[in-house]
Structure 1
Amino acid sequence: MNYLYVYYKLHEAQRRRALEPARRVLEAGRPWSRRVALLARPEVEGGVATWMEVYEGVDDVARLSNALDAAVKETGLATFLAGPRRSEVFAELPADAAGWEA
């Protein structure tokens, strides 16, 4: 099972206006995820906030990533970004050592 984490920065002054597009991007990823969440760092540095989208239980990361890229453009979230969106994929570790591949 894969987990996709997408994080990005935006100007804190734009936070309220960016929230609805960010939630719509999250919803665009729901068909490829078992659980989605939108998080924000509690601290703001220099007027710039960091938000993170979390997609859990992803089988097709490439398809999800493509859907998210399209949604960022379609929803207008791209206009609020103060830099690139960055993605990282993590895989769930096996419950015990027998689950490791050689």
Structure 2
Amino acid sequence: MNDDQQDLDSAIHHARVLTWVCVALFVVLDVVGLTASSQSDPRFVLGAFGGAASFLGIIGAGVWWAYLASQRRARSLDDRLDHELGMEDEHDDRREPPSV
């Protein structure tokens, strides 16, 4: 496994962990907000705004995770195509720009 693949796998792991941390934070903050006795209670405000912020974190981390996973799939498809075409060198499938 080369360094690029290890970096990509590490980034996917970080995105996955960040997604689940945001999910857990969202649940905890919503429970805190639900335990508030009224809307003027600071726990309600913490639950409302903290829950909204962590929900945005879930969306952002999930998009990052999906983007990185698609990069991994694209690389594996590219490697498989190179293997089927018999290209061993990674630079053989790259064309030179036309000279003007």
The TM-score, its normalising length taken from structure 2, stands at: 0.27
Q: Give the strand-richer structure, 1 or 2.
A: 1
Greater RCO (Cα-Cα under 8 Å, separation 6 or more): 1
Answer with 1 or 2: which has the greater Rg.
Answer: 2
